[in-house]
Amino acid sequence: MRTTCIAFLVGALAVVPSIDGGIVEPETTVPLIQDVDVLVIGGTCGAVAAAEGAAQSGAKVFLATPGLCLGEDVAGTLRVWAEPDEIGSSDLMGRLFAPAGQEVAPATSRIYTTPLRVKKALDTTLLKAGVRFLTGAYATDVLSDASGLPAGAVLCDRSGRQAVRAKVIIDATARGRLARLAGAEFTPFPGGAYSVSRVVIAGSAPECGGTVTRHDEWRPDKDVVQLSSKTTITPGLYECVFPLPFADGGPRAFAEAEQAARDRTFTATQLDAADRVCFIPPDHVKSASPCAKERATADELNLGALRPAGIGGVYVLGPLADVPRPLAAELARPGFAIRVGARLGRQAAADAKSRTITGEIRRAGREGHGAAADVREVRGTLTQPFVAATGTIPCEARELPVLDEVDVIVAGGGTTGAPAAIGATRHGLRTVVVEQLHELGGVQTAGMICGYYYGNRRGFTTEIDEGVAATGKVKSQSKAEWYRRTIREGKGSIWFGSMVVGAWLEGTRLRGVIVATPDGTRGVIRAKAVIDASGNADVAAAAGEPTEFYHPEELIGQGVGMAVIRLGAGGHNNDFALIDDTDASDLCFFGLRTRLMTEGGWDVSQLVNSRERRRLVGVFQVSALDYLTARTFPDTIIQHRSRFDLHGSPSHDFFYTKNIRTANHVTLEANGPYRSLLPKTTDGLLVVGLGMSATRDAMAIMRMQPDLQNQGYAAACAVQLALARGCELRDIPVRELQRQLVDKGILPESVLGEEDSYPLPDAVLKLASHDVMMGYGGLPFLFADPQRAKPLLLAKYEELSTHSSGRDPEVSLIYAHVLAMLGDPVGVDELIAWVATHGWDDKWPADSGARVNRMESYVLALGRAGSTKAVPAILAKGQELCDGKKSVSASRCRALGLASVTLGDPALAGMLASLLDQPGIAGHAIRLADPIPPVPGYDSRSNYSQQEKMEVAREVNLAAALYRLGDHDGKARAILDAYAEDPRGFCANYARRILLDPAGRGTSPR
């Protein structure tokens, strides 16, 4: 092993111990998103105070933090107390510790707050100061100007990489990496044991092998605790102090130390625990004005001790300052840090005034060894409010350090990833899990969706459930711990607070992933195989595999939530927004908005609970019609089971025809083929969980936790088979994998004899074309193979006239309807006649089992049939809504909008414009401003709030349809422009797509 120097500006040593053979990343460019006076990196209280101080002094400020929320030094460490002398030290301290709307009275003893109050106070401080900020963004590189001086940073997040140009950088991160990259010299970090403290909230004291102090004064409010009547836990706040070994100051050593700290502090009654240990590092920056005093007030501290020697335009804020370690400990306290931060912010603003950035800025490179590697990045979007500059910044070729080398990387340690990692370690594979959060389990732990909804509870899932039950009393905590402990027992490594941000390929073979670690290191982990369990197909997308998320035809998505955490609660399931998980700013804004709306509770989850995310379009894409026709496969590895649990509208026209088979009370089974985890071209990769290759309608059945847990385990078995045989993942003997899964109890024996039941036999289609006349029986089979179904349906349609009793009009209408949905206009006259003579409220007979509105379905079918004969009828139907006598409901607008676009007749534009003019239909775009408008109907104990989702989708979809038809007096353009600047990335990105490409794929029927 050697130490790779990755600092480049003045060649200082950075603390990234690297495995031999770093790879050379070729030159590239990154988009410039901000051009500011002061860039603050990190989300501590001091960092926020610095940003506020600089902004109040007239500087333009941007703050970026790798954390998913602000306040890592208090909320992240759970050191949620302040001493009496700290409380009055600043207004911000008062806000951090005061319940909403209350002042903190002068205190004589410690005072306690909650993580949520801390986060909200910091959020509000930045909002009020006009400081834009981005969470989940790692600052991994320094920019330099023509004279070689620091001039900003490169951020790395879910949206890819972006540059921020800045005259002054305040590095408030735990390891001061940006300062190091800028050339700052630091004292060494000698490997050894250091005293750390970790806070645990539990019913009993953890046995940490050190000192444990119970804070007897801590009395949680009633509203922050939600224990079930069966759980007898009296919550206590325990501060555990113990020595912890650190091999060195690099990210791997820190990742290991965080795990060792958890090993020592978990207790079966745990209700919450710190994300990170509190630790005063032995190393510090070398400044030209070190502070020699062990004690000083925040106002006395010489700011020169925060300024690296010989480098202008950079400060470190926090315990890495050039101060004696007792004073460094003061700098870790919020009261002290806020006062110093505010002073530093003012100083930085003044520095910025006198600084001019000279010439072009760039990220300087460094000679690497060997040829340029094929490094590909995760790419997404950033919404306009977060982007205030244009242009691109060149990044020269450079070497990326290799941080680790393993058999398998699991990207994302959530519902599917944690079981995958356990499966891999059980097979003896050297495994590393890279997880952005600070715990394992994803939606089912951090996201507080702690209970199963259907799924087959067997196989590895049974083992998980038994292990979790034996681990602790509170499911969200004990599940995360059981996963963690079991991976550790198998010698797996876990990197918390780290994000997979790219892929490294050789030809079509994945050689590893690019990772951003909490200290801002961007490096490579080499692996023989990667399991992409990000639930967002992050690795696959980075590798260039086709993926899908937005439906091209309309803005449609499943409801997203964010749990409000109460200590001991069994879960919190909610649904009130629409989110694009590939957009870092959307995730940031959603977290911010949810926290600000939430009153009461202990905390708000750091995980956005999205039910639908970016999905691979892999070797095989499972569709809803596969399970609706009970399709079997030769390579089934999981049998998924659920009710149709789509939190939103489905996409496939089948569901809008009559939808007789998917009533919510019916439990459906879906076979999951191995090929739906395999990308089309990239070798060495499997994609599991919500990112697997299945349509959004299919995922409504396939995404249940018990099944995804088994799927993760199955993916690990597949990797083991491939590595043992020395073959590619796509070439493994699948029957052998199935056999293992049968033995594990994941699959029934019967799958071993199954083959693909498609193509559907002629007899099945023939029967379906007959059965359809009886209440739409056999419909899924017809939709599953429309090319072969259409001639059969047409023959039946013709045949109706030959019946001795004459042509049955209801049956004829069924055929006309189904054929129209499949794009055949043969029966449009009948449909038009029905539409013209019936109202929006005329339904199918009550006992028909229909789950869609008859008129809406016929209107859509008229559009799909593509006959312009239908235009007058559709115009008339739209007019009925504009007359104000009928509700302008979202589903009616959907049918009219889609039909209008597929018919493509500009005459329909006026009708769509009139719909947009109806009261309450338009004007729902919002802006990123203080105060942020709350989601209508949201309350912290509620589960569902549908109004905003419905209003936004209806308005955007009507506007998109109108725009595609050529617009009407610029109405659609104005609406789409407004949404394009909306901080809610999901609608902003869709609006931008339509504006860029109105004809798009969206005009063609599915």
Ligand X SMILES: Cc1cc2nc3c(=O)[nH]c(=O)nc-3n(C[C@H](O)[C@H](O)[C@H](O)COP(=O)(O)OP(=O)(O)OC[C@H]3O[C@@H](n4cnc5c(N)ncnc54)[C@H](O)[C@@H]3O)c2cc1C
Binding residues for ligand X, rule: CB under 6 A, are: 411-417, 434-437, 442-444, 449, 451-453, 455, 499-500, 533-536, 538, 561, 573, 607, 609-611, 689-690, 703-705, 708
Min separation Cβ 505 and ligand X, Å: 17
Min separation Cβ 926 and ligand X, Å: 22
Min separation Cβ 199 and ligand X, Å: 22
Min separation Cβ 412 and ligand X, Å: 2
Give the count of alpha carbons within 13 A of 796, CB side only. Answer: 24
Q: 562 vs 911, which CB is nearer to ligand X?
A: 562
Min separation Cβ 983 and ligand X, Å: 21
Give the count of alpha carbons within 13 A of 993, CB side only. Answer: 21
DSSP string, 707-759: HHHHHHHHHHHHHHHHHHHT--GGGS-HHHHHHHHHHTTSS-GGGGG----PS
Q: 704 vs 956, which CB is nearer to ligand X?
A: 704
How buried is 341 (Cβ within 10 angstroms: 0-12 exposed, 13-18 middle, 19+ buried)?
Answer: buried
Min separation Cβ 529 and ligand X, Å: 17
Residues 896, 883: Cα–Cα separation, whole Å: 15
Min separation Cβ 720 and ligand X, Å: 20
For strands 398-411 and 522-532, give the pairing.
parallel
Which residues, at least 6 apart from 845, have a Cβ–Cβ distance to it below 8 Å?
A: none
Q: 607 vs 822, which CB is nearer to ligand X?
A: 607
419: region left, alpha or beta (phi > 0 left; psi from -120 to 50 alpha): alpha
Residues 978, 190: Cα–Cα separation, whole Å: 55
* 625 phi/psi in degrees, rounded to 5: -70, -25
Q: 136 vs 778, which CB is nearer to ligand X?
A: 136
Q: 35 vs 586, which CB is nearer to ligand X?
A: 586
Min separation Cβ 616 and ligand X, Å: 12
Q: 518 vs 863, which CB is nearer to ligand X?
A: 518
Q: 645 vs 951, which CB is nearer to ligand X?
A: 645
Residues 718, 710: Cα–Cα separation, whole Å: 12
Q: 605 vs 891, which CB is nearer to ligand X?
A: 605
Min separation Cβ 115 and ligand X, Å: 18
Nearest of 825, 834, 913, 821 to residue 869 by alpha carbon: 825
Min separation Cβ 713 and ligand X, Å: 12
Q: 499 vs 722, which CB is nearer to ligand X?
A: 499
Q: Please answer whether residues 645 and 663 qualify as being in contact, where contact means their C-beta atoms are separated by less than 8 angstroms.
A: no
Min separation Cβ 453 and ligand X, Å: 3
Q: 46 vs 561, which CB is nearer to ligand X?
A: 561
Residues 812, 828: Cα–Cα separation, whole Å: 11
Q: Please answer whether residues 138 and 520 qualify as being in contact, where contact means their C-beta atoms are separated by less than 8 angstroms.
A: yes
Min separation Cβ 643 and ligand X, Å: 11
Q: 430 vs 614, which CB is nearer to ligand X?
A: 614
Burial 913-952 (b: 16+ CB within 10 A, else e): bbbbebeebbebbbebeeebeebeebbbeeeebeebbebb
Q: 694 vs 820, which CB is nearer to ligand X?
A: 694
Min separation Cβ 161 and ligand X, Å: 14
* 849 phi/psi in degrees, rounded to 5: 75, 10
Give strand pairing partners of 506: 509
866: region left, alpha or beta (phi > 0 left; psi from -120 to 50 alpha): left
Q: 355 vs 479, which CB is nearer to ligand X?
A: 479
Min separation Cβ 665 and ligand X, Å: 17
Residues 302, 418: Cα–Cα separation, whole Å: 47
Reading the block at residue 975, the tokens are 């609406």
Q: Please answer whether residues 815 and 800 qualify as being in contact, where contact means their C-beta atoms are separated by less than 8 angstroms.
A: yes
Residues 275, 776: Cα–Cα separation, whole Å: 54
Q: 499 vs 741, which CB is nearer to ligand X?
A: 499
Q: Please answer whether residues 70 and 279 qualify as being in contact, where contact means their C-beta atoms are separated by less than 8 angstroms.
A: no
Min separation Cβ 167 and ligand X, Å: 32
Nearest of 608, 610, 607, 594 to residue 116 by alpha carbon: 594
Structure-token match 């019609």, residue found: 625
Q: Please answer whether residues 287 and 322 qualify as being in contact, where contact means their C-beta atoms are separated by less than 8 angstroms.
A: yes
Q: 456 vs 902, which CB is nearer to ligand X?
A: 456
Which residues, at least 6 apart from 317, have a Cβ–Cβ distance to it below 8 Å?
A: 42, 44, 46, 47, 50, 170, 171, 172, 306, 331, 337, 340, 341, 344
Crossing angle, helix 947-964 and helix 971-980, to 10 degrees? 130
Q: Please answer whether residues 979 and 988 qualify as being in contact, where contact means their C-beta atoms are separated by less than 8 angstroms.
A: yes
Q: 496 vs 963, which CB is nearer to ligand X?
A: 496
Q: Which residue is nearest to ligand X (CB)?
A: 414
* 570 phi/psi in degrees, rounded to 5: -80, -10
Residues 172, 177, 179: CA angle, nearest 5 degrees:
75
Min separation Cβ 708 and ligand X, Å: 5
Min separation Cβ 184 and ligand X, Å: 28
DSSP string, 502-535: EEEEETTEEEEEEEE-TT--EEEEEEEEEEE-SS
Q: 438 vs 993, which CB is nearer to ligand X?
A: 438
Reading the block at residue 415, the tokens are 């519902």
Q: 608 vs 988, which CB is nearer to ligand X?
A: 608
Min separation Cβ 256 and ligand X, Å: 18
Nearest of 750, 823, 741 to residue 782 by alpha carbon: 823
